[in-house]
Amino acid sequence: MSKTARAAVVTLCAFLLLLQSVSTAEAGFVDRVKNIYQLPEQMDEIQKKYDAAKLQLELQNEKLSESIRQSKETEEKLVAQNQQLQAQKDELQQRLQAMEQQARDKEARTRKLTMLAVTAALLVVGYFVTGRFIRWMVWRRARENLRS
Average pLDDT over residues 8-32: 61
Lowest-pLDDT range of 8-12, 95-99, 106-110, 128-132? 8-12
Higher local confidence (pLDDT), 115 or 17: 115
Average pLDDT value for residue range 88-92: 97
Q: What does the pLDDT average to over 75-104?
A: 97
Question: Could you tell me the pLDDT band of residue 126, with boundaries at 50, 70 and 90?
Answer: very high
Number of H helices, E strands in the chain: 1, 0
CB neighbour list of residue 9: distance below 8 Å, 6 or more residues apart: 1
- pTM exceeding 0.85: no
Q: What confidence tier does 33 reach under pLDDT thresholds 50, 70, 90?
A: low
